Structure 1
Amino acid sequence: MNDRKQIAELVSKHIATTIPELSDQEVPEDKDLREFAGFDSLGILESLVWLESEFGITIPDEELTVEKFSSVTKMVDYVIDHRG
């Protein structure tokens, strides 16, 4: 799957399951997810593990920063940039 829109839809759906307050609405792609209580350390960790599993990427420890994964757009960009 190389289509940015498809990747964004998958990531958005996952985020909606991670952040309860977004479960019944569309996740804005550029919204800083740190503004939601559900995007805590556990939510971030679950999302990173999910990204690795879903898209077959590995996120090196030195790149594990909240800033790199704080929005759907940033997650999608990371996946696109790091897929083999």
Structure 2
Amino acid sequence: MPGTWRSWATDADGNGVASPWEPADAITAQGRLMCALADRYDGRVDLALAAYNAGPGAVDAAGGVPAIAETRNYVRAITASTAGFTGA
């Protein structure tokens, strides 16, 4: 998403160019975006993930995770996989 990249891009690797194709830049931008979404939704990971997938407008309009199959499946899949990364 070019607009999203323009909003969150960062030159994390210090080469003078913020590029979505450079892992350091892309991972840092993704982290900044997800932190902002988590803040917007008071730490609700499900809503932050839904907003990442469907957009904050869709989450706000639905008052929660929107009834979009792709979004619900995305939230479910990511949430289910977190145990493997957190040791939970």
User: Quick one: higher RCO (CA 8 Å, sep 6+), 1 or 2?
Assistant: 1
**TM-score bin (small chain):** 0.3 to 0.5
TM-score by length of 1: 0.33
TM-score by length of 2: 0.32
